[in-house]
Structure 1
Amino acid sequence: MIDRSEKHALDAALEAARWAPSVHNTQPWTFSVTGEEIGLRADAGRRLRVGDASGRELLISCGAALFTMRTAIRCHGYEPVVHVLPDPDRPSLIATVRPGAATEADEATALLGEQIERRRTHRAGFTGLPVPDRLVDRLVAAAAAGGARLTPVRAPEAVGVLAGLTRAAQGVQAGDRRWSLEVIRWARPPGSSRKDGVPADGYPRRAAPTEPGFPQRDYAWRHDWGGDGGAGTSIGVPALLTTAGDGRQEWIACGQALQHVLLLAAAHGVSAAFHTQALEMDPLRAFLRRELCSGEHPQMIMRLGVTFDGTSAVRRPLADLVDRPLS
């Protein structure tokens, strides 16, 4: 019989998981609750059919939700017991999570937990305020603890390559009707009541140019949508998140490492902007692996920086995510 404190921990984990980052804010997950165990499941209906045919970005998103659940359970006084891909006959079951031994959340865990609902994705340039090297080192260590490698890209030539590949991929995708329609599906017009997708104030109407240029997705697509933010012109600190392998286990681990990095960064006033366009095109991803990633598999291109632009966040209600009513 589950006791009251364990139930509180489970409820907190479900609520926290809603706030995990996901590609285009697709929120591609559902949850089942059986006794004292939560099942995290991938929602294949929310996979990007064009941009994510392999399901790589979907599983990275689910991995981020898994780390968020683990953090919430720790913050509520239990060590989480996690089994990743526990049933080969149920490939959509990403993980099971339940409260284990009683524990006391340390200061570092509590700090991460405080950022779960505060963290935001940024979609423009950053201010000129630097990201401290000591923080970057801590972010690198956080990724390593989750089985991934975060590599800050400092050399101007390498930064130029990342920016150039991003521009090339964005140019190709913007001219392809399939890609454009898929992005439009997840773009929310002003005043929309939808609880998923990218809200109109989640990106600037006209972003100030950075040097070199790292283009964002064209969520407005022929509309004059977007917020008033995005005045910063700094690219921040470009970084690559890579893994040694490139299968489902690694993608889930990468998502967990990514969320650890994002929450830790947010706790110190640093946001992330993502650029996955080049990683969605196999020839460009292979080029990056060979030329910039020392043979490891690139899973995420991001920029880390400081911004004062506040954006809203939308998430689906738990009633739409959990297959039984919460009692």
Structure 2
Amino acid sequence: MIDRSVKQVLEAALEAARWAPSVHNTQPWTFSVSEEEIGLRADTDRKLRAGDASGRELLISCGAALFTMRTSIRSHGFEPVVRVLPDPDRPSLVATIRPGAAAPPDEATGLLGEQIERRRTHRAGFTGLPVPDRLLDRLVAAAAAGGARLTPVRAPGAVDVLAGLTRAAQGVQAGDRVRSLEVIRWARPPGSSRKDGVPADGYPRRAAPTDPGFPQRDYSWRHDWGGDGGAGTSIGVPALLTTTGDGREEWISCGQALQHVLLLAAAHGVSAAFHTQALELDLLREFLRRELCSGEHPQMIMRLGVTFDGTSAVRRPLADLVR
């Protein structure tokens, strides 16, 4: 018998949502609680004006928070009832979610729930330990269950294309002062008390080179911030996350699929490094769609691999998020 009150379940879901991944750890969401339902809203004040003018990455981030709440509610013994974009007159209302019927959690749900606060984004090379093919198959299935397609990129030529486009996009963006300032806005200097953005030990000062090279964001732009970046030089397994459509619903679905993949990967000791620079330039994103994604819309470029580097994580307190 489920003896947890709805209030406790909602509080746990809100606490879990804080740990969802977001672009530059902007945490672009707020929540409202009305009776037995949580409203998830996009915080457009935290949107990247230069890098994400359409709000695509913002809604992917919100989708990740939504899946995190769904997982938490399931972990506490209830089936989540979700409505996505429920009110056309309130476009910032991404979704509502509430506990439904009692449903004892299964082992898979418990496994995902345990990783919510443990999962970390990696921003350097990986060790040479392989990602098992069996796990990759499970990650592909997890993405498909959320309405997205995860495609591990194995062919050396395709890997070179992804790496080359990432380098080209990073080079263009590094020369754009507005974009560079936007990135550095979300880079936390050592000793900072901020509860958002990327901590100084969360990105490398000078990452060890990989072959081929997948450059990271330059969070240490014009500063000598950052950690040592670890000793790993493997690129891991590059992968593309795509959707058939390219609207707000698909972006939210992609975020949910992404978080499912990340939590499942983390449960098996695998981390992800993200490279969305090329997806923020329309011409390069369209090239990827046509040439590498079979006409589907690329929403995320990532590398999956094993790392033993421990990094800190910061999140805003619930008092700043619940309105």
Tell me what 1:63 maps to. Answer: 63
The amino acid that maps onto 1:307 is T
Shift of the alpha carbon at 1:205?
1.7
Contact 1:196 1:314 in 2 (8 A): yes
Tell me what 1:260 maps to. Answer: 260
TM-score, normalized by length of structure 2? 0.99
Deviations 1:254-310 (Å, cap 9, x if unpaired)? 000000000000000000000000000000000000000000000000000000000
Shift of the alpha carbon at 1:6?
1.2
Residue 180, structure 1, aligned to residue 180, structure 2: yes
Residue 169, structure 1, aligned to residue 169, structure 2: yes
The amino acid that maps onto 1:236 is G
Tell me what 2:141 maps to. Answer: 141
CA distance in 2, matches of 1:61, 1:287: 24
Q: Match of 2:5, SS? A: helix
Contact 1:203 1:230 in 2 (8 A): no
Tell me what 2:36 maps to. Answer: 36
Deviations 1:13-48 (Å, cap 9, x if unpaired)? 000000000000000000000000000000000000
Tell me what 1:120 maps to. Answer: 120
Tell me what 1:87 maps to. Answer: 87
Tell me what 1:237 maps to. Answer: 237
CA distance in 1, matches of 2:89, 2:271: 38
**Which 5+ residue runs of structure 2 have no aligned equivalent?**
none
Contact 2:123 2:229 in 1 (8 A): no
CA distance in 2, matches of 1:53, 1:227: 30
Contact 1:146 1:257 in 2 (8 A): yes
Residue 109, structure 1, aligned to residue 79, structure 2: no
CA distance in 2, matches of 1:240, 1:26: 22
Contact 2:121 2:272 in 1 (8 A): yes
Shift of the alpha carbon at 1:228?
2.2
Q: Match of 2:100, SS? A: strand
Q: Match of 1:105, SS? A: coil
Tell me what 2:304 maps to. Answer: 304
CA distance in 1, matches of 2:109, 2:265: 13
CA distance in 2, matches of 1:118, 1:165: 31
Identity level (%):
89
Residue 211, structure 1, aligned to residue 203, structure 2: no
CA distance in 1, matches of 2:265, 2:184: 29
Residue 19, structure 1, aligned to residue 19, structure 2: yes
CA distance in 1, matches of 2:229, 2:211: 18
CA distance in 2, matches of 1:316, 1:101: 31
The amino acid that maps onto 1:86 is P
CA distance in 1, matches of 2:166, 2:204: 18
Shift of the alpha carbon at 1:161?
0.2
The amino acid that maps onto 1:186 is W
CA distance in 1, matches of 2:197, 2:169: 21
Moved over 2 A (4+): none
Deviations 1:193-237 (Å, cap 9, x if unpaired)? 000000100012221100000000000111111112321000000
CA-based RMSD: 0.7
Contact 1:81 1:99 in 2 (8 A): yes
Contact 1:206 1:230 in 2 (8 A): no
TM-score, normalized by length of structure 1? 0.97
Contact 2:208 2:229 in 1 (8 A): no
Shift of the alpha carbon at 1:7?
1.1
Cα 1:302–1:125 shift into 2, 3 Å: same
Contact 1:210 1:233 in 2 (8 A): yes
Q: Match of 1:24, SS? A: helix
The amino acid that maps onto 2:89 is D
CA distance in 2, matches of 1:269, 1:118: 11
CA distance in 1, matches of 2:83, 2:243: 20
Tell me what 2:73 maps to. Answer: 73
Shift of the alpha carbon at 1:4?
5.5
